[in-house]
Amino acid sequence: MAFRTARNLAYFSNYIRNYSTNGPLVNVTVNEKSGFATATLQRPSVNSLNLELLTEISHTLQQLEKNKCRGLILTSASNKVFSAGLDLFELHKPNADKIKQMWSTLQEVWIKLYGSSYPTVAVVNGHAPAGGCMLALSCEYRVMLNNFIIGLNEAQIGFSAPMWLIDGMRNTIGSRQAEFALTAGTLFKTEEALKIGLVDEVAQSKEEAIEKAEKFLNKFAKIPPHARSMTKAALRGANIQALVRNKDEEVRSYVDFVTDSQFQDSLGEFIELNLKQKLSK
């Protein structure tokens, strides 16, 4: 087992430090005492998920799995936005090959994070709409700071969340609440999200949120890791397998959907109405 000896731990920490120097969009640090890794998303200004950020998240998750990470805290370098979801400017008038890769990498991120063998917590220290909520939902526990929003607002933008993301929402807040939330594309304030179980705890500061996250991760200190991960796989495996089976077909449908002129028109309108930065005409 990694981390059993100080030498292993030091090796892993160095490895991660080296890795993080290669990854400017995701900073990874390891607490040498607890062995917990913190992955901080740092793509200015709102961690919108473009191909480069998604690729780096995917590589990070792969390395953490390979190095038998003891627990992951996923958070943001911004104190306003956890992640604004998919980069809407990259979805507008896109290059089909690039968005094909983007969607496929998003699926990989979900598979690796939702299915990780190690425990995961999202410290949601800013707004988390759509893909931001997806990242938080794929963790096992969510601690959110006050006065932000979280939810799957895809319906408001003009599309449906994919099946695996609907599954993630349903598994977290139950079918009835998921139906209400998804059909209206609701974005919940922190306190509302706590009430429906979309987040597990509220914190007043990032430090407090990290403490709560570590407390959650420490709950597993005495549980054999293989028993924990087998149980997690039993609970989440069917949803992951459903995506794995349908992966290529979903990428094709997604590319067709996003390149369609009707979607492009409604995306253009959404950007003009909702985002400060406008489209160049």
Before 45, cis peptide (omega within 30)? yes
Structure tokens, 162: 């994919």
Among 87, 108, 167, 200, binds ligand LIBGGCMN (CB under 6 A): 87
Which position has the token pair 């002129």?
Answer: 261
Ranked by CB distance to ligand LIBGGCMN, the top (closest) residue is 85
State the nearest-atom distance from the C-beta of 85 to ligand LIBGGCMN, in Å: 3
Residue 132 is a catalytic residue: no
DSSP 107-132: HHHHHHHHT-SS-EEEEE-SBEETHH
DSSP 209-276: HHHHHHHHHHTTTTS-HHHHHHHHHHHHHHHHHHHHHHHHHHHHHHHHHHHSHHHHHHHHHHHHHH-S
Among 24-32, 85-93, 225-233, 237-245, which window interacts with ligand LIBGGCMN (CB under 6 A)? 85-93
The verdict on 215 binding ligand LIBGGCMN (CB under 6 A) reads: no
Strand 201-203 to 141-145 pairing: parallel
Cα 100 to Cα 93: distance, rounded to the nearest angstrom: 13
The verdict on 159 binding ligand LIBGGCMN (CB under 6 A) reads: yes
State the nearest-atom distance from the C-beta of 275 to ligand LIBGGCMN, in Å: 4
The verdict on 185 binding ligand LIBGGCMN (CB under 6 A) reads: no
Give me the numbers of helices (H) and strands (E) for the chain, helices first please.
12, 9
Among 2, 194, 233, 275, binds ligand LIBGGCMN (CB under 6 A): 275
Among 57, 74, 111, 161, binds ligand LIBGGCMN (CB under 6 A): 161
The verdict on 53 binding ligand LIBGGCMN (CB under 6 A) reads: no
The verdict on 85 binding ligand LIBGGCMN (CB under 6 A) reads: yes
Name 201's bridge partners. Answer: 143
Residue 22 is a catalytic residue: no
Cα 116 to Cα 231: distance, rounded to the nearest angstrom: 12
Site string for ligand LIBGGCMN, 117-146 (x = CB under 6 A): ----------x-xxx--x------------
Nearer to ligand LIBGGCMN by Cβ, of 71 and 162: the residue is 162
Pick from 121, 101, 99: nearest CA to 39: 121
Residue-wise burial string across 47-69, b where 16 or more C-beta atoms lie within 10 A, e elsewhere: bbbbbbbbbbbbbbbebbeebbb
Residue 153 is a catalytic residue: yes
Among 257, 259, 264, 266, binds ligand LIBGGCMN (CB under 6 A): 257
Residue 158 is a catalytic residue: no
Among 88, 136, 137, 209, binds ligand LIBGGCMN (CB under 6 A): 88
- What positions carry a catalytic annotation? 86, 131, 153-154
